[in-house]
């Protein structure tokens, strides 16, 4: 299912990048067409998880950090949550990919955390000790997450400042979709707000900037997404990237701590 998501969003990113490269003065696929393509994937995944996967793992129940005994059943709204997670993270990583090494660095950190979580929830003993849902088969998912980390580190070697290679939509869209879906499968949907905090803040900064500008004609930031705001303030690009990665690492460590609380 994760590989299916990667191929689907990778194809979307490929066509978007291809149009940008081959057609002069083109910005690629329209935002509407990309969003429809992403939502189509989210709907398929949501229905698959709702009717098959979650019959086994009781997955329509939402695990709330710090309150593990409280697990509200989302019912059919679970499909919408899957769509929101996959589509939202796919676009959030795409938005974050504006500085050398930033998006892939945050992805590697998130991949490391999900490697541990997937291994934990795939073990009856560990999941029982930490009072998190046991999800059969996620041990294999931890291998995929490890591969993501390894590939990400290899790419980051050439993508760090000054970048020799760039991710493009063909990389950022599937990476975000993978993270959003993995969080759903391991039943740690809300922890994604901590693990992917940089991605979410970057996306929210764009949403806030556009919304406020349309209403009042004023800008909240000098430029959006947020990393460009700091560039306009005169911060060197490596400084912004490293500080964002430090924040991502701290928030990811905090997400692991919540498993024991």
Peptide bond into 19 cis (omega under 30): no
Cβ(52)–Cβ(247) under 8 Å? Answer: no
Spatial CB neighbours of 32, under 8 Å, sequence gap ≥ 6: none
Q: What is the largest CA-CA distance in the chain?
A: 58
Pull the structure tokens for residue 152. Answer: 């990400």
SS3 69: coil
Cβ(188)–Cβ(63) under 8 Å? Answer: yes
Q: Does 94 show up as a binding residue in the annotation?
A: yes
Q: Does 73 show up as a binding residue in the annotation?
A: no
Distance CA 224, CA 205 (A): 6
Peptide bond into 82 cis (omega under 30): no
Distance CA 45, CA 5 (A): 8
Distance CA 155, CA 184 (A): 26
Binding-site residue numbers for Mg(2+) are 94, 169
Binding-site residue numbers are 94, 169
């Amino acid at each position: 299912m994760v590989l299916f998501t990667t191929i689907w969003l990778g194809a979307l990113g490929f066509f978007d990048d291809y149009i940008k490269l081959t057609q002069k003065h083109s910005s690629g696929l329209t935002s509407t067409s990309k969003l429809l393509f992403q939502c189509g994937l989210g709907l398929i995944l949501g229905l698959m998880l709702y009717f098959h996967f979650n019959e086994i793992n009781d997955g329509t129940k939402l695990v709330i950090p710090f309150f593990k005994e409280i697990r509200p059943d989302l019912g059919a709204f679970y499909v919408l949550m899957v769509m929101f997670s996959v589509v939202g993270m796919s676009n959030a990583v795409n938005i974050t990919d504006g500085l050398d090494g930033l998006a892939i660095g945050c992805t590697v950190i998130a991949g490391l955390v999900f490697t541990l979580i997937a291994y934990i929830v795939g073990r009856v003993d560990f999941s029982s000790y930490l009072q998190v849902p046991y999800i059969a088969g996620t041990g294999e998912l931890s291998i995929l997450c490890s591969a993501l980390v390894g590939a990400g580190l290899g790419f980051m070697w050439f993508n760090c400042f000054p970048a020799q290679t760039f991710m493009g939509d063909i990389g950022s869209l599937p990476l975000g979709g993978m993270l959003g879906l993995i969080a759903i499968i391991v039943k740690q949907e809300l922890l994604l707000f901590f693990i992917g905090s940089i991605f979410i803040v970057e996306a929210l900064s764009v949403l806030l900037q556009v919304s406020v500008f349309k209403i009042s004609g004023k800008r909240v930031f000098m430029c959006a997404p947020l990393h460009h705001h700091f560039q306009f303030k005169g911060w060197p690009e490596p400084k912004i990237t490293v500080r964002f990665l430090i924040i991502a690492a701290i928030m990811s460590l905090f997400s692991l701590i919540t498993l024991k609380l």
